[in-house]
Amino acid sequence: MQNLYTAAYACLMTADVDQKLVCATQLYAAWQAGQLVRDVAVADEVLAIADPGRPPRPELVHPKQVKQRKLSTPEGRRALLHAVAHIEFNAINLALDAVYRFREMPDAYYGDWLQVAAEEAYHFSLLRERLAAFDCVYGDLPAHNGLWEQACKTADDVMVRMALVPRVLEARGLDVTPGMMQRLQEVGDTATVDVLAIILRDEIGHVRIGSRWFQYCCEQRGLEADATFRRLIRGVMQTPLRGPFFIEARLQAGFSAEELEQLLAMAQDWDNAPA
């Protein structure tokens, strides 16, 4: 029997893209088959990870240096695909880190996040195929490291991680993906639309997993979830909450109608705040 935490760490630190994709898929299958054991006593100490396993490219730059291009051009669609592929690759690492780092959660938590890692690996594979149609491979364009920086900021508390990575950063993907799909449909790129539809479907489930375990942590600590979420956004994220929201998807992903009303008000307050 293999130790879950040791196996998750090895996959997390794997730099080769193909090996990481295979590893993430096999880890979830091994968990489902009962071939992984949670043995904290023999697992290594939990380490801070400034840099997870990733290939030497893409070059990581400041977000403002990642150029935005119109989706009406092949260059724009290539840039979009590369950016989303980078998000999905980082999401594999984020899911594996959630397994490796937080060791006092119920078994179902680990099954959920191993499933997420496997699905993110599948998403990356789909996007890599579409990039090839544009004569591009992952790493050809620069990217930023914002997702992993948030992983580092939330490494000390599973409740904070569940609140701010799935329910803020990944939930933002739910909001913006339909608009991207519409613009791609208008220029006839139905193949990319089909890929994004799969990703959107699965990401609703991933955000729902984050909601489930955030609410679990709040219940365990006797905290009111909605108020705690808003407090963490203000205190830890310290960046404006952006709208508009894809309400239907967020409802499916575990946000309540009342919570969304409060978040919309927060976003409006930030928009109206003096510069």
pLDDT at 42: 67
What is residue 48's DSSP assignment?
Answer: P
Q: How many domains does the chain have?
A: 1
In a domain, 37, yes or no: yes
The SS3 assignment for 69 reads coil
In a domain, 58, yes or no: no
Question: 83-93, pLDDT tens digit by residue?
Answer: 999 999 999 99
For 3-18, b where at least 16 C-beta lie within 10 A, e where not — what string? bbbbbbbbbbbbeebe
The domain that holds 203 is classified in CATH as 1.20.1260
Domain around 190: 2-47+68-272
In a domain, 88, yes or no: yes
> Is the distance from CB of 242 to CB of 267 less than 8 angstroms?
yes
pLDDT at 273: 58
Question: 121-153, pLDDT tens digit by residue?
Answer: 999 999 999 999 999 999 999 999 989 999 999
Percentage of the residues of the chain whose pLDDT score is greater than 90: 84
- CA atoms of 80 and 122, how far apart (whole Å): 18
Nearest-CA neighbor of 218 among 158, 159, 157, 263? 159
- CA atoms of 30 and 47, how far apart (whole Å): 24
DSSP string, 260-271: HHHHHHHHHHHH
pLDDT at 190: 97
What is residue 143's DSSP assignment?
Answer: B
- Give the tokens for residue 228: 């705690």
pLDDT at 67: 77
Query: Taking the CA atoms of the chain, what radius of gyration do you get in angstroms?
Result: 19
> Is the distance from CB of 150 to CB of 91 less than 8 angstroms?
no
pTM of the predicted model as reported, rounded to 2 decimal places: 0.95
Distant-in-sequence, close-in-space partners of 68: CB < 8 Å, separation ≥ 6: 79
At 38, which amino acid appears? Answer: R
pLDDT in tens, the chain (275 residues): 899 999 999 999 999 999 999 999 999 999 999 999 998 776 788 999 999 999 999 999 988 778 777 899 999 999 999 999 999 999 999 999 999 999 999 999 999 999 999 999 999 999 999 999 999 999 999 999 989 999 999 999 999 999 999 999 999 999 999 999 999 999 999 999 999 999 999 999 999 999 999 999 999 999 999 999 999 998 887 777 888 899 999 999 999 999 999 999 888 877 665 55
- Kindly state the helix (H) or strand (E) to which residue 221 belongs, with its residue range: helix 190-221
Beta bridge partners of 60: 143
The SS3 assignment for 5 reads helix
Measure Cα distances from 203 to 68, 115, 137, 172 in Å: 23, 12, 23, 10
In a domain, 83, yes or no: yes
- CA atoms of 200 and 205, how far apart (whole Å): 9
Q: Which residue has the tokens 């569940």?
A: 162
In a domain, 61, yes or no: no
In a domain, 52, yes or no: no
- CA atoms of 93 and 88, how far apart (whole Å): 9
In a domain, 63, yes or no: no
In a domain, 265, yes or no: yes
Average pLDDT, the chain: 93
Question: 248-262, pLDDT tens digit by residue?
Answer: 999 999 999 999 999
C-alpha neighbours within 13 Å on the C-beta side of residue 92:
36
